Structure 1
């Protein structure tokens, strides 16, 4: 991939699953997204538009993979982060137990 390459995309989230995001090439154009994926986004909520490029890394995704997926399949699906330990499994110091 050309280091200077940039690609615009729109990012959506779903109320159905926290941390699941869908990147598409154009806002409100889900024509390249398979029905199985769209079932997870019954009411896609637009989060923001983004200009992807090699010099702007993403927090949780490899920007090169996102660009490649947008170019080859027309969308990118960002899965939720791996489950972390729930807050109720954290042992609190005795001083915090009222």
Structure 2
């Protein structure tokens, strides 16, 4: 799958992975409002071919593919931020 990675202007170490280029005119059609609020204005970082056996620096390729297939995107956050968000949302 061709994968497109974007970063936001609010969180320097957060990235969102998509399987198609983000429509700059209507990003809310590709991503939930909560993600857009968290990330801020998105800018393109990288395009690459994502396969299940691809090594990614901070994510598991199989999980990235599954999340993109299931919800349309994968959000990469630092582990410490991810745990805090999980605690906030599910505690």
TM over 0.5: yes
| Alignment size in residue pairs | 77
The runs of at least 4 aligned residues of structure 1 exceeding 3 Å deviation read: none
The structure richer in helix per residue is 2
Q: Distance in 1 between matches of 2:78 and 2:9?
A: 13
Give RMSD over aligned pairs: 1.6
- 2:11 and 2:38 map into 1 onto residues whose CA distance is 8
Q: What runs of 5+ residues in structure 1 fail to find an aligned partner?
A: 1-6, 84-98
Aligned equivalent of 2:2:
8
The one of 64, 87, 97 aligned to 2:62:
64
Of structures 1 and 2, the larger Rg is shown by 1
TM-score under structure 2 length normalisation: 0.74
